[in-house]
Amino acid sequence: MSELEQNTSVKISLASRFENFLGDKYNLMFIGILIFALFVRLYFVFLTRTQPLWWDEAEYFNIAKVWAFHIPWDINVQRPPLFPLLVAGIFKLGLGDLTAKFLLVVLPSLGIVAITYFLARDLYNKKVALLASAIMSVFWLLLFNTVRNHTDALAMFLGAFGVYLFWKGYVEKTNKTMILLSAIILGLAFLVRLLSAMNIIVLLLFLIFTKHHKFVLDKNLWLAAAAGILTIVPYFIWTKIKYGSAAAQVAAYSSALTGITNKIAWHVFGFFNWYLLWIFLILFVVGLGLLLFDLAAGSDLFGKKEGREVNADLLMLLWVVSYVFYFVFVVRDVSTEDRWLLPMAIPLFIIAGKGIVFIFDQIKKYERRAAFAVVIILLLAGGYMQLARAEDTIISKAKTYSQEPFAGAWLKENTQPGDVIFSVNEQAPLTYYTNLKVVGFGENEQDTINKIKKLRPKYLVVTAYFPSPQWMFELPNKYDNIRPVQVFFEDAAKTQASIAIYEVIDYDNFRPKQVSPAVQNTTS
């Protein structure tokens, strides 16, 4: 066959597959869900396009600016490199932070809806897949983190995609390429967010339960492991070169395990209702009961072809249990953030989808139209609750740190490259807005004065957005050579000051302000 004939054959094959895909009503409904999900995401991103950056967002973007433009910022070892590296590439192309958000947050968020569908379809069926992806399209916490420049959406997508490829390439049928790709993509997920290692733990537990010790003899898994390790090795080499230890990030994150002496973090179980809200929570409980019953009834089928759905149930259960166990019994941190468990939402919604299908099947026995009506009402009501929570949360948080961009613009306009700024707190956002070196105060007042004499900052910035020791707020007002030059307010009436900027006019001669005798008598 000639090259022309081969290319023609490939085109016909692709066209035929595309036609078959669109000929399936479930696929058409899935495309409708994707379009709706994209619209919802773009709506919220447009609504919050001018919102200030939070610390984590600014820190990742500062790292990107270090690599793209060499701004002064100390890279935090706790931040894995892939996300800021991709942002740096976008910045080098002359594109801005909104482009970075769209490519690295919005599209992965949409990808999570898609991978939820494909994973649920291959684990169970297209009905469960449609329902799970529909819930994911309106999931309020994912939407909230889609309008923030967080790593969660990208890491969640890559982690789920790696699990999907593992299922396709190892569980359904042996496909060496898919198994290798699964390991590489899981490695990339780890390079975006270290917590993505949980996906590997889930799959390892799955292999132990289904294959027992036999999986250690599978050369395909060893090759995949090697591919995954090679994917992340450059990160550890870089860490070794920059920080002197390949495991520097482990030491930096060791504080996450200090909670081992605390009480068990039972409050993490509250995330089930926090994620699902009560309608989808009830559907999840129904699905979980069905899953546990099927799993118990078919437990002797693990690893066998006829136990495929039992294996799917096991994978979903392990996915949920692993995350809950880690944060409840290992980390035990009272400040555990809801977004840290975001990947757990995928099995939660797939299990809820099983619950909806079960309810539909029971009602359908008596009246098919009534069954459809019940499902639609449940989805609309549950979806409305999710979207309402998303809008309330997104809008209420959109104006936090509202004056920092204005303060940053003022500082940038009134400084020169190479100037230094001192800030009580919020150093990361101010660095992003000014591209200057922004450092914190010292350990105490005298240490701060010594730092000022050494680093000679042009301005001192005090913000009320984050709690700091009282002496830090009082220090600028105690010396004559530190004078206020600009104040930013939260309200139009200028009654709620949030940021004050002070200029240092004499670095070597700190003069405490003189208090008049009348004032002294009043205060004594």
| Pairing between β-strand 437-440 and β-strand 420-423 as defined by DSSP bridges | parallel
Residues 346 and 463 in one domain: no
pLDDT of 4 > 60? The answer is no
Give the CA distances from residue 475 to residues 68, 156, 360, 456, 515, in Å, rounded to whole numbers and listed in that order.
36, 44, 66, 16, 15
Residues 378 and 446 in one domain: no
User: What is d(CA 429, CA 423) in angstroms, rounded to the nearest whole number?
Assistant: 11
8 falls within a domain = no
- pLDDT grade for 509, boundaries at 50, 70 and 90: confident
488: which strand partners?
499
Residues 352 and 449 in one domain: no
Select from 84, 58, 168, 154 the least CA-distant residue to 118: 168
Residues 392 and 429 in one domain: no
User: What is d(CA 451, CA 485) in angstroms, rounded to the nearest whole number?
Assistant: 21
CATH of the domain at 415: 3.40.190
| Contact of 223 with 271, CB cutoff 8 Å | no
pLDDT, greater one: 332 or 116: 116
Residues 328 and 456 in one domain: no
Q: What is the pLDDT of residue 517?
A: 46
pLDDT of 523 > 80? The answer is no
User: What is d(CA 69, CA 57) in angstroms, rounded to the nearest whole number?
Assistant: 17
Q: Which residues of 343-372 are buried (b: 16+ CB within 10 A; e: fewer)?
A: bbbbbbbbbbbbbbbbbbeebeeeeeeebe
User: What is d(CA 460, CA 447) in angstroms, rounded to the nearest whole number?
Assistant: 15
Across 274-281, average pLDDT: 97
Residues 354 and 455 in one domain: no
pLDDT of 257 > 90? The answer is no
User: What is d(CA 393, CA 142) in angstroms, rounded to the nearest whole number?
Assistant: 12
In this prediction the pTM is 0.92
| 268-154-21 Cα angle (round to 5) | 110
Across 126-153, average pLDDT: 97
- Give the sheet arrangement for strand 420-423, strand by strand: 437-440, 420-423, 459-463, 497-504, 482-489
The count of other CB atoms within 10 Å of the CB of residue 438 is: 26
pLDDT of 303 > 60? The answer is no
Residue-averaged pLDDT of the chain: 91
Q: Which residues of 121-156 are buried (b: 16+ CB within 10 A; e: fewer)?
A: bbbbebbbbbbbbbbbbbbbbbbbbbbbbbbbbbbb
Residues 384 and 309 in one domain: yes
Give the CA distances from residue 315 to residues 1, 75, 196, 378, 509, in Å, rounded to whole numbers and listed in that order.
44, 37, 16, 26, 67
Residue at which a domain ends, from 398, 423, 458: 398
Q: Read off the pLDDT of residues 397-411 as tens digits, 9 standing for 90 and up.
A: 998 999 999 999 999
4 falls within a domain = no
Residue at which a domain ends, from 398, 431, 459: 398
17 falls within a domain = no
φ/ψ of 31, rounded to 5, equals -60, -40
| Contact of 249 with 319, CB cutoff 8 Å | no
Across 31-47, average pLDDT: 97
Q: What is the pLDDT of residue 277?
A: 96
Q: What is the pLDDT of residue 300?
A: 54
- To which H or E segment does residue 73 belong? none
Residues 326 and 416 in one domain: no
16 falls within a domain = no
The total number of structural domains that make up the chain:
2
Which of helix, strand or coil describes residue 193? coil
User: What is d(CA 327, CA 336) in angstroms, rounded to the nearest whole number?
Assistant: 8
| Contact of 159 with 186, CB cutoff 8 Å | yes
- To which H or E segment does residue 272 belong? helix 271-297
pLDDT of 516 > 60? The answer is no
pLDDT of 260 > 60? The answer is no
Place of tokens 């240490």: 447
Across 144-169, average pLDDT: 97
Residues 379 and 419 in one domain: no
466 falls within a domain = yes
User: What is d(CA 298, CA 287) in angstroms, rounded to the nearest whole number?
Assistant: 16
11 falls within a domain = no
- pLDDT grade for 520, boundaries at 50, 70 and 90: very low
| Contact of 490 with 403, CB cutoff 8 Å | yes
Place of tokens 């099995």: 347
Q: Read off the pLDDT of residues 308-325 as tens digits, 9 standing for 90 and up.
A: 889 999 999 999 999 999
Containing domain of residue 157, as a range? 23-398
Across 36-61, average pLDDT: 96
User: What is d(CA 358, CA 361) in angstroms, rounded to the nearest whole number?
Assistant: 5
pLDDT of 521 > 50? The answer is no
- Percentage of residues in the chain with pLDDT exceeding 90? 78
- pLDDT grade for 467, boundaries at 50, 70 and 90: confident
375 falls within a domain = yes
240 falls within a domain = yes
Q: Read off the pLDDT of residues 172-181 as tens digits, 9 standing for 90 and up.
A: 888 999 999 9
User: What is d(CA 231, CA 216) in angstroms, rounded to the nearest whole number?
Assistant: 21
Q: How many CA atoms within 13 Å lie on the side-chain side of 420?
A: 13
Select from 81, 96, 70 the least CA-distant residue to 151: 81
Residue at which a domain ends, from 367, 398, 429: 398
- pLDDT grade for 518, boundaries at 50, 70 and 90: very low
| Contact of 469 with 430, CB cutoff 8 Å | no
Residues 391 and 410 in one domain: no
Q: Read off the pLDDT of residues 410-466 as tens digits, 9 standing for 90 and up.
A: 999 999 999 999 999 999 999 999 999 999 999 999 999 999 999 999 999 999 998
Place of tokens 């309106």: 138
Residues 291 and 434 in one domain: no
Q: What is the pLDDT of residue 63?
A: 98
Residue type, 125: N
Residues 219 and 86 in one domain: yes
Q: What is the pLDDT of residue 466?
A: 87
pLDDT of 522 > 60? The answer is no
